[in-house]
Amino acid sequence: MKVQGSPSLRQSQDEAELSQLMRKAQTGDAGAYRQLLLRIRGMLAKYIENSFARFGWGAGSGQEDVLQEVLLAIHVKRHTYDPAQFFLPWMYAIARYKLIDHFRKNKKSYAALSLEDELEHIENLAILDSTAEVDLEKLLGVLSEKQRAVLSLVKIEGLSIEEAAKKTGYSESDIKVTVHRALKTLQEKVKEDTRENR
C-alpha cells in the first residue's frame, strides 16, 4: 500500500519550492510572494478544513475567516521565518496558533486530548501529505496491532470516533487516546527517519 508522504522534508519538492519563494519574498520580491500565497492557500484551506472536521465544526462556520487570519499572520510575521529552517513546519505552526486562538475565542470544548497536540498531529499528516511517496505498511509497522486497527478506521476509512468505538467495542476515550498515541509514535518515527536522512 502506498500513500503520499515522506520521511524527509528535505526531499520534498513542495518544501524546496515554497522555502525558495519565501526567501525571495523576504527580499521584497512581490511576484514570488504572490505565487507563494496562492500555493499555500490550498494547503492551509485543507488543514483548516480537517481541523474543523476533527473538532466537529462543519463547513461555513468561519473557515474562510480563519484562512484569511492565517494568511495575514504569515504576512505580518514573515520576518520570523528562518531560511535555514524548513518552511512547511513554520507555516503550519502559525496556522495552528491561529486555529487555537479561533477555537478558544469561540469557546469550543476539546476534552480528553490537548487541542495543541491534536492540531499538531493534523499538521504532521498535512506535511506528510505534501511530500513524496512512502511505504505506509512499513511506517505502520512500528504500531501495535490495536493502534494499527484503530488508526486505519479513523484516519484511513474516515470513521468518526463514535463509529470506531461502536465497531471495535472500545470506549470513545480509549479510541481517542489510541489514535493520539499512534500518531505520536508515527510522528517520532518520521522525525527519526528525517534525522537519519539528513
Residues binding another protein (CB under 8 A)? 25-30, 33-34, 37-38, 41, 64, 67-68, 71-73, 75-83, 85-86, 88-94, 97, 191
DSSP string, 134-181: EEHHHHHTTS-HHHHHHHIIIIIS---HHHHHHHH---HHHHHHHHHH
39 vs 54, beta carbon nearer another protein: 39
In the Cβ-directed half-sphere of 57, how many Cα atoms lie within 13 Å? Answer: 19
User: Could you tell me the smallest distance in angstroms from the CB atom of residue 97 to another protein?
Assistant: 6
In angstroms, rounded to a whole number, what is the distance separating the alpha carbons of residues 1 and 4?
Answer: 10
User: Could you tell me the smallest distance in angstroms from the CB atom of residue 169 to another protein?
Assistant: 35
32 vs 53, beta carbon nearer another protein: 32
Q: Residue written as cell 505534501?
A: 130
114 vs 144, beta carbon nearer another protein: 114
125 vs 136, beta carbon nearer another protein: 125
User: Could you tell me the smallest distance in angstroms from the CB atom of residue 2 to another protein?
Assistant: 27
Instruction: Please give the angle made by the CA atoms of 144, 149 and 155, to the nearest 5 degrees.
Output: 115
User: Could you tell me the smallest distance in angstroms from the CB atom of residue 62 to another protein?
Assistant: 13
